[in-house]
Structure 1
């Protein structure tokens, strides 16, 4: 589980924090997506998962993360480029400031790639001072029988749904 947290922090800070901007990333083609996350220079920490999605689920994921990103990030700048998008963020989570640069390319119908370079000031235990991560996503086809939009299958067969995470978030006391 530690590897999942280390992987996800830069990706969460870099990619989804775009809803507050005039430029939004396109939604992915509905169906089953395979997401492979790789951290450069690290053996054995690659992570592959599958995510069943539709347009509504993709939009909900962005809107669920956006309040956290708005609160935690002093900079969220996304720009359209000739080959896709570039997103630069500066965020502070648990006393760790992370500066991230993400390059996003692909068509969001069959495949896309997110390359993230992050620099961490005051890194948390187990988090490197700098990292380079790549997310390669490819569309596999229709979701499998019994899957519904939002279902994620993690390594080891761990299953969860984005909607369930929203329910858990609602139980957390507000400051």
Structure 2
């Protein structure tokens, strides 16, 4: 379970860095239920598949809600539109660990998209290490009857709502001034 939460943390950092950059913004995903399969190398974490129920408002809120948190923990957040999609670069620090990340995002945000990311982390108990993660997302259809926008269903059935991220912010260690 701890490993799954750490992987979710990595994915949230990717969302924070990708969703808050300057003038270029990622498109809003099609409303409904998205399946996201995460495959990570450079560590012992297994492949993880989760589902996310979203709508246009929730996707936009994720970007704007993430902005204040990302501004606090990230010294660099760049996103560029490319011929095939988007490229993001970020440098973020949490709990004495600094992560430099690079992601390439391709797809149409209506039926499927892929995020290929690499990161280099320094500090903390794990020391310096590199990680590669691929997120393959596909639209499954309408959200299930018992789901509301923002709900994420993790492996094992654990359910959380991404709109509660602001509550998670209070759990992060305080960052020293930049």
Q: TM-score, structure 1 length as denominator?
A: 0.87
- Greater shift in the superposed pair: 147-156 or 22-31: 147-156
| Change in 2 beyond 3 A, CA 1:165/1:86 | closer
Give the Cα–Cα distance (whole angstroms) in 1 for the partners of residues 32 and 112 of structure 2.
Answer: 12
| Change in 2 beyond 3 A, CA 1:82/1:171 | closer
Runs of 4+ in 1 over 4 A off after TM superposition: 41-44, 167-172
| Change in 2 beyond 3 A, CA 1:49/1:56 | same
- Greater shift in the superposed pair: 109-118 or 56-65: 56-65
| Change in 2 beyond 3 A, CA 1:65/1:3 | same
Runs of 5+ unmatched residues, structure 2? none
- Greater shift in the superposed pair: 11-20 or 77-86: 11-20
Q: Which residue matches 2:133?
A: 133
RMSD: 2.5
Note the alpha carbon deviations across 1:6-45, whole angstroms, 9 max, x for none. Answer: 3234433333323341000001000000011111255661
Give the Cα–Cα distance (whole angstroms) in 2 for the partners of residues 126 and 152 of structure 1.
Answer: 28
Q: Which residue matches 2:160?
A: 160
Q: Which residue matches 1:115?
A: 116
Q: Does structure 2 retain, via aligned residues, the 8 Å contact 1:49–1:155?
A: yes
